[in-house]
Amino acid sequence: MQVFIGSASRAPEPQNPTDLVDAGARYGIAVMGVVAVGRADGPQRAVFRLATRIMAELARTW
């Protein structure tokens, strides 16, 4: 799963990222989360932490 914040590749909002995690769990496939913070946001720790926290909460069942 990828979460882009503040970049041209950014999706408006994922439809339901938990579906991806659930589908992987159903078949025993691990889902890796990748966080990318765009240049426009600079090295903002808060943005990075938020994206990381969202992905961690989605994967809490692991």
Largest CA distance in the chain: 38
pLDDT in tens, 15-57: 566 777 778 778 888 777 777 666 665 667 777 777 778 777 7
Q: What is the pLDDT of residue 25?
A: 79
Q: What domain range is 28 assigned to?
A: 2-58
Provide the pLDDT confidence category of residue 9 given band limits of 50, 70 and 90. low
Taking the complete model, does pTM exceed 0.75, yes or no?
no
Q: What is the pLDDT of residue 23?
A: 80
Q: What is the pLDDT of residue 14?
A: 56
Q: Give the distance, in angstroms, between the CA of residue 24 and the centroid of all CA atoms in the same chain.
A: 15
Contact 4, 10 (CB under 8 A): yes
Question: How many domains would you assign to the chain?
Answer: 1
> Among 51, 1, 50, which residue's Cα sits nearest to residue 21?
1
